[in-house]
Structure 1
Amino acid sequence: MVRRPWQTMTSIKVECVMGEKLRIGESPLWEEKEGTLVFVDITGQKVCRWNPASNHLQTVSVEAPVGSVALRNSGSYVVALGNKFGILKWEDQSVTTIAHVDEDKLNNRFNDGKVDPGGRFFAGTMAQELRPAVVERNQGSLFMLLADHSVVKHFDQIDISNGLDWSLDHKTFFYIDSLSYAVDAFDYDVTTASISNRRCLYRLEKEECIPDGMCIDAEGKLWIACYNGGRVIRIDPETDIGTKCKRNSTLHICWLEAVFYL
């Protein structure tokens, strides 16, 4: 892998769409049926649902730091909070635990997560932060929750499990362990959910920023929000050319039609 020169985006406008203050906002996803953006406030211990049409924000408080959320066919949600997966029912604001992970590491918690093209929920863990972006190293793992509520651990020795997504043809899995300052790629089998052949796709310099959340666009390009770096970068997996745009702080990103939410 050769790190290529940066290009700069000049035509992108960045604006605040929601004035609500969050402690650590992450894991945004669009809920088409309700017309809402669902996301979490990790250390605020809340799952949030924002309606852009009415600018109305709803929240459900949970018992532990919540790293990510996913939609279910039944209309409820799967949440990765503390060291467990749970089912969140919005109507009665209840969370039912369905699986535990990292039970030998009481200081661990879930962080970012996302559903793969086959409907499996991937989410990774990390040790609790001593201060922002400072953790006990190699304590995290990447887990996969299946429909029968069983859990598979794909790999461990992770520092801060973060952004993840899949290529448009579903044959490549992209992944970020933040303190590696890199985006890694794996071969992916969408039928079996097996991952293999890990390699570094793109590496950032440490003085630039810490890679955090990630999503893929309709052109197959990766968008990466950088913690404490004041920027979002767009990477072409075919050429490893990076393009950047600046903002004050970034945590996580997702697409909604022509709108890009950070």
Structure 2
Amino acid sequence: MACTVRYLLLFILLTSVPAMAAGVIYDVDNSSLSIKISFSKGYSNVNTLKLDKSYVISFETNEELSFEQTFWDMPVKSAYVTSDGTRKRFIAEFDRDVIVPEVSSQEGLLKINFPFPKGTVEEPLVGTKAYAKMIWGLLIILAVMLFSFWLLKSFFKKQVLTDIPGTGRLLGKADLDIRKSLYFYEIDETIYIIGVTDASMNLIDKISGEDEASRIKAGFSKKNDFSSYMHFFKKQPSIKDEVEISRTTINERLKSLRKR
């Protein structure tokens, strides 16, 4: 009776111990994907099958086996294990061409290696190379943005005079008020003074005298603003005098234009 109880306890102890599980280790780099499946009780009857977008390796084992992994930017899209009783299947799926693995069967160990074709995986940038490439990219983008801003600014600044016939150049401008300016434009030997507002553009006067035109061009070559133009009439004027002179000059030009 005691012997029977002893055997019964041993049977219960053995059946209560969970089944042994096989272990899976994988390693992936730019050249290959390696899978190692280790068994405690062993395996048998290994078969392989190539499908349209996957490769299947099946085998027999009493051990539990669980594995599932997804890969990014690799020829292998994913790898996982399915179970049908004692029949286990290791399945590798591919985005494009199926890679035939190298299968090596050893005692208690099943090795599966998928060699990647050369050039299918880009080597990741690490360390200073990655930072240098990122900084150069930012500098190039910044340079393009600054050049575009300068180009647009130059275009909108001069577009008011781009339709004037003849060959000439813009000497400068004087801002009289908000959205009101005088442009000094030279065509051949004549300087045209053009009043520009938001609503219109009018010819204020034209200067064809050689002496006066030379003084205007010389003044704008030194400083491209309206205060330089005031130096044609008075040497080193004060700010108050400059404002007064500018008003007088503009009024005289307008009166001269009306008389004509």
| Shared fold (TM-score, shorter chain, > 0.5) | no
Which one has a larger percent strand, Structure 1 or Structure 2? 1
TM-score by length of 1: 0.24
Which structure ranks higher in relative contact order (CA pairs < 8 Å, sequence separation ≥ 6)? 1
Greater C-alpha Rg: 2
TM-score by length of 2: 0.25
Which one has a larger percent helix, Structure 1 or Structure 2? 2
